Amino acid sequence: MSNQKMFGFKVLLLILPCLWISDAATDTLTQGDKLNSSDSLVSQNGAVTLGFRLLQYGETWDDKRAGYYLAMWFSELESSPPIWLANRDDPIADNSGVLIIDNTGFKITHDGGDPIQLFSLHSTPTTTNSSNIKLVLQDSGNLVLQDADSKGENRILWQSFDYPTDTFLPGMKLGVSHGRSWSLTSWFTGSIPAPGSFTLEWDPEGERLIVRLKERVLWTSGNSFENIPPSEPQNMNYNFSHVSNVDEQYLYYTLLMDDSTREEKRKNARLILLYDGSLQLGSGEFIFSSKSCAGASTQNGCERWKGPKCRSNGDQYEIRSITPTDMNSVNYSLLGNTGLSIYDCKDICWKDCQCFGVKEDRVLGCQFLSGPYVQGALDGTSYQVIIRHRSRLKNWIWILISIAMTLLITVLLGVLFCLRRRRRIRMEDIDRPFTEYFSISSSSTFVSIILLPVENAGFFGSEMQLPLPKNPAFSAGRRMIETNVEEKEIENYSLNGLSMSVMDPR
């Protein structure tokens, strides 16, 4: 073989694999490489993909109905929400986005706007030979920008694990380490990935996970993670651990796997802070659902909502059908504010003593209930209403009051009976059934007036009947029967008359 031929053969050998690689997906970009919206990076084992994705918002938000994002997703779950976004705050209007590594770092360029700089070499104190930097998508879901130092060892300049969105992956940290801190922030709505109302944080002092709605602590894991339910204890394969020293306080987790670990728990493991504040595992199970933390509950890690004096223990949000009855019943002042989700609105309403509730189906902006309304109408509108609950102590007070009432009534009736009996003994020969009847009905009117507030408080069932006066009525009845020939007729009549008199005062 001539030298020239040999050279040609060598070049061909060098080019062939390159051709093959450029056809297949790669996990690495080096300086000068570009990734446009029809390309993608795929991690070495194929589990994770990085590329541009169009996300539909489902409504108009920030004058847009959709946006392009540089996104990372589990390759086999392409249609489910991404596990990471590079530009959640800064969507690109069209498919012109290109990820570029150059001698200034790496960035996304796009038509009609400044480039989105993800990392700038000028921001690092260490000197870097920019011709050595490369961007690698790891199987763990970490996108790493690295360079090789003079000894040829890889050095991490930037990694996506340091910029988490709403997804906590094995290998990520929550907390603080050497001055850097990490927390998750939920999406704004189920389909708008901008930062939303909830955060997931590591509380180093309490050694627990915390979900916050703005400043409000909504839920905690407890410091031995007792509020994370082991739905299948033998298969609870999220092993949470934390590191605590002077420089670092953070949480991470590893996956425990054995032969019994189900397939969906082996793959695509992750913990997601949903847009409504709930925590969900990759397998679809919930660690907790924020619906259960509606204000009053302290069960399963929920924290009672604190607020101004007008909110007391036991108050909580419940869904009610509402019909406003006044022009000022509804407060529209924050209706147009598309920077507020219904969860923000609930937080705002709770802090405002003039506010009774929040309209349920509003996705963006708030519609508050702030005046007279009727509850329960079939054609009403669905509102999250702050329902005031009487505390257990107050219930006991009502029970004591009603026992006292019953005793009082019994004594009164007893006294009445004795008095009447004495009078009857005195005037035994005079028979006046109608006068007797009249005085019985007025005493039962008196009884039902006393009981009214108790009934209206909902303490007894609304169908509660007043007890029929016993001894006096019967003795009077007997007296009447003795003196009347048409005994059946009169008995019926007097009973009917009694129940009528019960209804009267209502």
Ligand X SMILES: *[C@@H]1O[C@H](CO)[C@@H](O)[C@H](O)[C@H]1NC(C)=O
150 binds ligand X (CB under 6 A): no
In the complex with ligand X, the residue whose CB is nearer, 16 or 353, is 353
In the shown chain, the binding pattern of residues 95 to 124 toward ligand X, with x for contact by CB under 6 A and - for none, equals: x-----------------------------
User: How far apart are the C-alpha atoms of 199 and 183, rounded to whole Å?
Assistant: 7
First to last CA, the chain: 115
47 binds ligand X (CB under 6 A): no
In the complex with ligand X, the residue whose CB is nearer, 254 or 456, is 254
Among 129, 224, 439, 442, binds ligand X (CB under 6 A): 129
Among 22, 241, 245, 299, binds ligand X (CB under 6 A): 241
331 binds ligand X (CB under 6 A): yes
In the complex with ligand X, the residue whose CB is nearer, 371 or 467, is 371
Among 224, 239, 325, 492, binds ligand X (CB under 6 A): 239
- Residue 191 φ/ψ, nearest 5 degrees: -130, 0
Cβ of residue 328: shortest distance to ligand X, in angstroms? 7
Cβ of residue 240: shortest distance to ligand X, in angstroms? 8
Closest CA to 199 of 188, 191, 207: 188
Cβ of residue 364: shortest distance to ligand X, in angstroms? 16
In the complex with ligand X, the residue whose CB is nearer, 348 or 412, is 348
In the complex with ligand X, the residue whose CB is nearer, 36 or 183, is 36
36 binds ligand X (CB under 6 A): yes
User: How far apart are the C-alpha atoms of 250 and 243, rounded to whole Å?
Assistant: 5
The two tokens of residue 467 are: 């007890």
Q: From the CB of residue 16, how many other CB atoms can be counted at a distance below 10 Å?
A: 10
131 binds ligand X (CB under 6 A): yes
Where in 338-367 is the site for ligand X (CB under 6 A)? Answer: 348, 352, 354-355
User: How far apart are the C-alpha atoms of 384 and 347, rounded to whole Å?
Assistant: 12
SS3 of residue 221 by DSSP: coil
How many of the chain's residues bind ligand X (CB under 6 A)? 21
455 binds ligand X (CB under 6 A): no
Q: Which residue's entry shows tokens 């906590």?
A: 168
What is the per-residue burial (b if ≥16 Cβ within 10 Å, else e) of 350-388? bbeeebbbbbbeebbbbbbbbeebeeeeeeebebbbbbe
Cβ of residue 19: shortest distance to ligand X, in angstroms? 14
SS3 of residue 34 by DSSP: strand
Cβ of residue 230: shortest distance to ligand X, in angstroms? 12
- Residue 279 φ/ψ, nearest 5 degrees: -110, 125
Stretches 154-162, 170-178, 258-266, 329-337: which one binds ligand X (CB under 6 A)?
329-337
499 binds ligand X (CB under 6 A): no
Among 37, 167, 186, 221, binds ligand X (CB under 6 A): 37
Cβ of residue 36: shortest distance to ligand X, in angstroms? 4
List helix spans (H) across 89-185: none
User: How far apart are the C-alpha atoms of 330 and 371, rounded to whole Å?
Assistant: 7
In the complex with ligand X, the residue whose CB is nearer, 383 or 437, is 383
**Which CA distances in Å does 327 have to 324, 331, 403?**
8, 9, 43
The two tokens of residue 372 are: 């007279």
* Polymer length in residues for the chain: 506
Among 15, 16, 156, 256, binds ligand X (CB under 6 A): 256
Task: Indicate the residue type of 322.
Answer: I
Q: Which residues here bind ligand X, judged by CB under 6 A?
A: 36-39, 95, 129, 131-132, 239, 241, 254, 256, 331, 333-334, 348, 352, 354-355, 368, 370
